Amino acid sequence: MKLLVDVGNTRLKWASIADDARLRPGGVFAHAGGSLVGELRREWGGLARVEAAWIASVVSAAREEELAMFVRERFGLRAQFVRSPAAALGVRNAYAQPERLGVDRFLALAAAHARDARLQVLVSAGTALTVDALDADGSHLGGLIVASPQAMRQAIVAGTARVDARGGQLQAYPRSTADAVVTGSLYAAAGAIERFRASLVRAGEASPPLLLGGGGADELEPLLAPVERVHDLVLHGLALWAREAAAGATPDG
């Protein structure tokens, strides 16, 4: 069994694959601000015969070292941290410094391309909101990093004396401060996404499909049409990477 780990800014999600290459869901937990070890013991205490651990991480080097030490002590393995390459798994990275593209974004692009090779827009609604364009030939065209609606709301509340967003809801015409803050944050995020998608429309063609995932997807989905909900693209991308490595191929290059 191969362990696949997606370490985001606030959550750790994991899955596994065996010889049949089918992704088996594992678990997810919040990790911001606390030690990983206790949660990892609970999550992975019953796992046996782990032969590799592939990790996509956007957290600090210290956090990665904590995870690597646990993998070494628990399974006797060296954790394999994936970094964004210039090209791999049919996808070409648009960044001049490829490693500067978040590996979560790269692996999600690879999974989306393997799922359907077409012009498409990927949106991950997490702690930050990322929006990426992927062409049918696997070329990453570039993307955005935007404050998530939650981050926008937190910034407004923190920076003002009398604004409270608690209990706010999406409304066509907000008539309370809380509703105004919540609706404004969602409209701002959706507007950035749709403006980016509109820039990709080619003569005589419809808007490219939009794939939406992440913990904040539910509140954005009603404002984006049409939209395809996707789940665990980073883990699916990690599975592709692990399979390439197991087959003796070098995923990057």
Crossing angle between the packed helical segments 233-246 and 103-115, to the nearest 10 degrees: 80
Is there a binding annotation on residue 13?
yes
Is there a binding annotation on residue 93?
no
Is there a binding annotation on residue 104?
yes
Find where tokens 């409304």 sit.
Answer: 171
Is there a binding annotation on residue 127?
yes
Is there a binding annotation on residue 6?
yes
Number of Cβ within 10 Å of residue 19's Cβ equals 8
Is there a binding annotation on residue 7?
yes
Number of Cβ within 10 Å of residue 42's Cβ equals 11
Is there a binding annotation on residue 173?
no
Clarify whether 104 is annotated catalytic.
yes
Strand 210-213, strand 91-92: pairing: unpaired
Is there a binding annotation on residue 34?
no
Is there a binding annotation on residue 95?
yes
Question: How far is residue 110's CA from residue 113's CA, in Å, rounded to a whole number?
Answer: 5
Q: Which one of the listed residues 19, 20, 104, 135 is annotated catalytic?
A: 104
Strand 24-30, strand 11-17: pairing: antiparallel
Is there a binding annotation on residue 12?
yes
Number of Cβ within 10 Å of residue 243's Cβ equals 15
Phi, psi of 194 (to 5 degrees): -70, -35
Beta bridge partners of 16: 3, 24
User: Binding site: residue ranges?
Assistant: 6-13, 95, 102-105, 127, 177
Residue list, annotated binding site for ATP: 6-13, 127
Annotated binding site for substrate: 95, 102-105, 177
Residues serving a catalytic function are: 104
